[in-house]
Amino acid sequence: MYMATPRTWLGRAQEIIDVLSKIKVDSVDRDRIEELFQLQRRAALNLMKQVGVFVAGGRSYVKRTLLIEWVRKIDREEGSLAAANEDSRREFSQAVAEIQATREILTAAGKPPISFPLTHEILESSFAALPPGIELRPGRIEVAFNPEGGPEEVVEKLYRLAKAIANEPDIFERLVLVRSKPPVDEMAELFATLLQ
């Protein structure tokens, strides 16, 4: 039994396939696997075992065509998940950086920063899941809060609202922005539809 090879190379899967497609050899040895996939010896051997290793002349090899098929399969199965994880990590890092920058500005201005836990739920805020007390109508946004509570409640609600707007701008436009449209005579449209 072998451990799964870390997929540190997954972001370069297409590049690896391109290289393997251009070379003319039938088999690829461990040294080339290490170089191409940028792996250490043990990880290269584990990868080769997953593909289907054979030994010739005391050296380990994999068939080039099998290796190409295996990389394509792994890229199909794990590539989108890796990309989604990277997007989520990047979004979280950006949110943390924004908060840290805001805190530094407030501290430099002599104002204590207001903090609240930044959860995955807050980062993925949507209009359907906004906390009670936030109302949106055409041309108006209202945020109600407990007047005896601290500023943390208000700041968190405003942050959730801002994230919902950023995450679902189309819904925000439908709920709050007023677009001038010609008046529709619904009865005339209904009669026209029935007469057709």
pLDDT 10s digit of each residue in the chain, 196 long?
444 545 788 888 899 999 999 999 999 999 999 999 999 999 999 999 999 999 999 899 999 999 999 999 988 888 666 666 677 778 888 888 888 888 888 888 888 777 778 888 888 889 898 989 999 888 889 999 888 888 888 888 999 999 999 888 888 888 888 665 555 566 667 667 777 6
Beta-strand pair 53-56/27-29: unpaired
> Which CATH code, of 1.10.540, 1.10.10, 3.30.70, 3.40.50, is assigned to 10-78?
1.10.10
Question: Considering only CA atoms, which of 165, 135, 167, 131 is closest in space to residue 149?
Answer: 131
Q: Taking the model in full, what pTM does it have? A: 0.43
Assigned token pair, 123: 């980062």
> Which part of the chain has CATH 1.10.10?
10-78
Catalogue the E-assigned strands of 19-79. 27-29, 53-56, 59-63
